Amino acid sequence: MKEDYFKYQAQTSSHPLALEISHAKGSYIYDTKGRAHLDFVAGVSALSLGHCHPRVVNAIQDQVQKYMHVMVYGEYIQEPAVAYTKLLASLLPAPLETTYLVNSGTEAIEGALKLARRFTGRSQILSAKNAYHGNTMGSLSIMGYEERKSAFRPLIPDVGFIRFNSEEDLLKITERTAGVVLETIQGGAGFILPENGYLKKVRERCTAMGAMLILDEIQPGFGRTGKLFAFEHYDCVPDILVIGKGMAGGMPVGAFVASHHMMQSLIENPKLGHITTFGGNPVIAAACLATLQEITESKLIQESLEKEALFRKLLQHPLIKEIRGKGLMLALIMEKPEVANEVILKCAEKGLILFWLLFEPNAIRISPPLTINNQEISLGCALILEVLNGLKQ
Ligand SMILES: Cc1ncc(COP(=O)(O)O)c(C=O)c1O
């Protein structure tokens, strides 16, 4: 299968991990040789409930028996999407009440950018240095990392950058600005938390200038940081919330949420201002509903902070300079990229899945399923320490 994989499937890098998958359950992925791999990455924060959670699997199976795709988004009333968006609205603060369901995180960002421009009638978009919001042209344009995007220029015009956590740079938000897009917690940059009331200050400046604040919660969302959404930690409600990854228990999805009034602007001038064939797909929406119900009806959100404490307690080692992040979105910061790299690859050999961060070469990603248990955390951390001790000698 490996040869065919390299020949027929387009690659993203010259050195993929190339684990050959047989099946996955809970916190483990099993390869075709029958070996179990403990998953500390959760499909890069997408598997909030672990692999093949029974509630999600049942919801999908029930829905495929009834109907799958029946019509493009926005024409027919389909119960899974209605029930899901209603439940989500009940869990969000005003004015976040109306959800537009799409197929991926980057597509949700595209929708949010269009909505901000259409609603304000302005064009400038500001985002943060080292930001990652996806890989389609709009998302790429607001990526704050030149090296990864210059080959694809020209990108969308009227995009500027501010430094995350810089109060001084907030003056760049003006009456020309349609929207300011920020990750609530910067992911690819190295799990950077907002500091000193930063997001509240961004909120205030956006309000004063009439600019839309767009928060990308694609990574921290759905309970990973000890709240359903990370912005709840920071006394700041966005105008547009962008979500994805962990919202459908491992199925492909994204969404942007705003006030009903703002969303109405996508209906006219031009008509059909944003359309999609598969957005709101009933099977995916059923998975979203089951995932959200499980996350909110269980103790998983509060437990994510207890599990963070266990990781921090266990992962003490002279080679780990710092542990960044919040809840189950943690990054071990090593002294050099070579060390991070070696730990990731050696742990993979020992059956523990870790991963890199996009723009912070010293980091090792730990973003396990929220359902991971203490025994699995201890087992994985012991493997990391074993590898680190091996490096020291
Ligand atoms: C913060 C953030 N925004 C947007 C995206 C893009 O999501 P997707 O890969 O589903 O398009 C990602 C994906 O890693 C992300 O981490």
Ligand 1 pocket residue status of 104, Cβ below 6 Å: yes
CA–centroid distance, residue 114 to ligand 1 (Å): 17
Structure tokens at 55: 């509630």
Ligand 1 pocket residue status of 191, Cβ below 6 Å: no
DSSP state string for 161-208: EE-TT-SGGGGG--TTEEEEEEESSBTTTTSBPP-TTHHHHHHHHHHH
> Which is the closest atom of ligand 1 to the Cα of 131?
1
pLDDT by residue (tens digit) across 180-226?
Answer: 999 999 999 999 999 999 999 999 999 999 999 999 999 999 999 99
Q: Which neighbouring-strand residues pair with 333?
A: 322, 363
pLDDT score of 393: 53
Task: Please report, for residues 54, 112, 143, 227, 342, the alpha-carbon distance to residue 216 in angstroms, rounded to integers and kept in the order given.
Answer: 28, 10, 12, 15, 31
pLDDT by residue (tens digit) across 258-304?
Answer: 999 999 999 999 999 999 999 999 999 999 999 999 999 999 999 99
Three-class secondary structure of residue 325 per DSSP: strand
CA–centroid distance, residue 345 to ligand 1 (Å): 24
- The sign one gets for the Cα dihedral 153, 44, 257, 206 is negative
Could you tell me if 363 and 293 are in contact, meaning their C-beta atoms sit under 8 angstroms apart? no
Phi, psi of 79 (to 5 degrees): -55, -45
CA–centroid distance, residue 388 to ligand 1 (Å): 30
CA–centroid distance, residue 263 to ligand 1 (Å): 22
Ligand 1 pocket residue status of 105, Cβ below 6 Å: yes
CA–centroid distance, residue 34 to ligand 1 (Å): 31
Ligand 1 pocket residue status of 184, Cβ below 6 Å: no
pLDDT score of 125: 98
Ligand 1 pocket residue status of 134, Cβ below 6 Å: yes
Q: Which helix (H) or strand (E) holds 292?
A: helix 282-297
Ligand 1 pocket residue status of 219, Cβ below 6 Å: yes
pLDDT truncated to tens, each residue of the chain (393 aa)?
Answer: 989 999 999 999 998 999 999 999 999 999 999 999 999 999 999 999 999 999 999 999 999 999 999 999 999 999 999 999 999 999 999 999 999 999 999 999 999 999 999 999 999 999 999 999 999 999 999 999 999 999 999 999 999 999 999 999 999 999 999 999 999 999 999 999 999 999 999 999 999 999 999 999 999 999 999 999 999 999 999 999 999 999 999 999 999 999 999 999 999 999 999 999 999 999 999 999 999 999 999 999 999 999 999 999 999 999 999 999 999 999 999 999 999 999 999 999 999 999 999 999 999 999 999 999 999 999 999 999 999 999 965
Ligand 1 pocket residue status of 367, Cβ below 6 Å: no
CA–centroid distance, residue 132 to ligand 1 (Å): 7
Structure tokens at 366: 């730990």
Nearest residue by C-alpha to atom 2 in ligand 1: 133
pLDDT score of 392: 65
Ligand 1 pocket residue status of 141, Cβ below 6 Å: no
Nearest residue by C-alpha to atom 4 in ligand 1: 133
Amino acid type, 94:
A
CA–centroid distance, residue 31 to ligand 1 (Å): 26
Could you tell me if 39 and 369 are in contact, meaning their C-beta atoms sit under 8 angstroms apart? yes
Could you tell me if 138 and 156 are in contact, meaning their C-beta atoms sit under 8 angstroms apart? yes
Ligand 1 pocket residue status of 80, Cβ below 6 Å: no
Ligand 1 pocket residue status of 111, Cβ below 6 Å: no
Nearest residue by C-alpha to atom 8 in ligand 1: 105
- Of 45, 127, 135, 219, the one to substitute when testing ligand 1's pocket (max ligand atoms within 8 A of C-beta) is 219
Least Cα distance to 142 among 159, 163, 164 occurs for 159
> Which is the closest atom of ligand 1 to the Cα of 107?
11
- Of 47, 104, 130, 132, the one to substitute when testing ligand 1's pocket (max ligand atoms within 8 A of C-beta) is 132
> Which is the closest atom of ligand 1 to the Cα of 217?
1
